[in-house]
Amino acid sequence: MKKQLLSSLVTAALLGTMAFSASAQNLAVVNGKPVPKERAEVLKQQLERSGRPVPAEMEDQIKDEVIAREIFMQEANRRGLAASPEYRQQMELARETILIRELFTDFQKKNPVTDADIKAEYDKFASASEAKEFHAAHILVESEDRAKAIIAEVKGGKKFEDIAKKESKDPGSGAQGGDLGWANASTYVPEFNEAMVKLDKGQMTDAPVKSQFGWHVIRVLETRQAQLPALEEVKPQIAQQLEQQKLMKFQDDLRAKAKIQ
């Protein structure tokens, strides 16, 4: 009798230890089904990969989300939804999306942007024409004829600023005598940009410039080299841009090599 009692106690202790060990590995048990803690970790990693920080206080929310998903999954399975054609189609699309994302992640890991790449891109921008800034002014009117007449009037001695204040359709700069302030050429629409960059300090366009806004008479007051931020300030943005360029080239190369019939 004592041996049987001892055996029963040992068995109960072992079962209790096993149950405790199992519960320690699980986030919860929902309707008798264990929910592994790894699910919460996977969800946390997904959030972090999407750029969302996951502070410690969010851990309870993540746990609640994982448990809720298990509850809903069990009900969906009980209704046989996993066997539906719609579900299988969505799963195939999800599988493709995840696998393609992993392909791109693998490529980026194996083809990282280096500090030398970033420095070269920064130097290229610094030496490009885009690194030049213009202090320009303009008069915007509705017709080409009026713009031509304004050019003639300014050449004849009338003040550019006075005409701009009186006639320019651009209320912001017009009130300032047409002054647009300092800006990079790429700030402006292409037609304006193309005409402006050909002007030297003090020059005005000899012919009106047409854009989607109307007809411009443009004058360049001053030019200067752009005040570029330090490399360290823009390093993350340059790295991201180069990563995207590398990835786009990888995708284009795969498309070019593919045999499509």
Q: Is 215 exposed, middle or buried (0-12, 13-18, 19+ CB in 10 A)?
A: buried
Tokens read off for 169: 């359709």
> How big is the CA angle at 223 (ends 221 and 225), to the nearest 5 degrees?
160
Cα separation, 250 vs 60, whole angstroms: 40
**Own/partner pairs for 29-35, CB < 8 Å, 24+ apart?**
30/67, 30/70, 30/71, 30/74, 31/71, 31/74, 33/70, 33/74, 35/66, 35/67, 35/70
- Per the CB < 8 A criterion, the answer to whether 113 and 166 are in contact is no
Could you give the percent of the chain with pLDDT greater than 70?
89
Residue 7: per-residue pLDDT: 46
Least confident of 142-151, 174-183, 223-232: 223-232
Residue 14: per-residue pLDDT: 39
- Per the CB < 8 A criterion, the answer to whether 135 and 222 are in contact is yes
Residue 132: per-residue pLDDT: 82
Residue 209 parent element (H or E):
strand 209-211
Residue 130: per-residue pLDDT: 61
Cα separation, 104 vs 97, whole angstroms: 11
Residue 71: per-residue pLDDT: 96
**How far are the Cα atoms of 46, 65, 68, 70, 79 from residue 54, in angstroms, in the given order?**
10, 14, 19, 21, 34
Least Cα distance to 209 among 155, 139, 156 occurs for: 139
Which pTM does this prediction carry? 0.52
Residue 24: per-residue pLDDT: 56
Looking at the predicted structure, is the pLDDT value of residue 125 above 70?
yes
Span 155-174, average pLDDT: 96
- Per the CB < 8 A criterion, the answer to whether 170 and 212 are in contact is no
Sign of CA dihedral 153, 157, 158, 161: positive
Neighbours of 66 (CB within 10 A): 22
Span 117-137, average pLDDT: 85
Span 85-105, average pLDDT: 95
* Residue type (1 letter), 172: G
Which CATH number describes the domain made up of 129-225? 3.10.50.40
User: Could you report the per-residue pLDDT of 13-55, keeping only the tens digit for each?
Assistant: 334 434 444 445 888 999 999 999 999 898 888 888 777 888 8
Least confident of 32-46, 103-117, 152-166, 240-254: 32-46
Residue 255: per-residue pLDDT: 94
Residue 184: per-residue pLDDT: 85
pLDDT classification of 185: cutoffs 50, 70, 90: confident
pLDDT classification of 128: cutoffs 50, 70, 90: low
Which CATH number describes the domain made up of 25-83? 1.10.8
2: helix, coil or strand?
A: helix
Of 185 and 201, more confident: 201
Least confident of 68-77, 136-145, 205-214, 224-233: 224-233
Quick one: DSSP state of residue 204? B
Span 95-108, average pLDDT: 96
Span 48-67, average pLDDT: 86
Ranges of CATH 1.10.8 domains, the chain: 25-83
Ranges of CATH 3.10.50.40 domains, the chain: 129-225
* Residue type (1 letter), 22: A
Residues 6 or more apart whose Cβ sits within 8 Å of residue 224: 132, 133, 135, 182
Tokens read off for 129: 């024409």
H helix intervals, the chain: 2-25, 38-49, 59-78, 85-110, 115-127, 144-155, 160-167, 171-174, 190-196, 231-257
Looking at the predicted structure, is the pLDDT value of residue 224 above 60?
yes
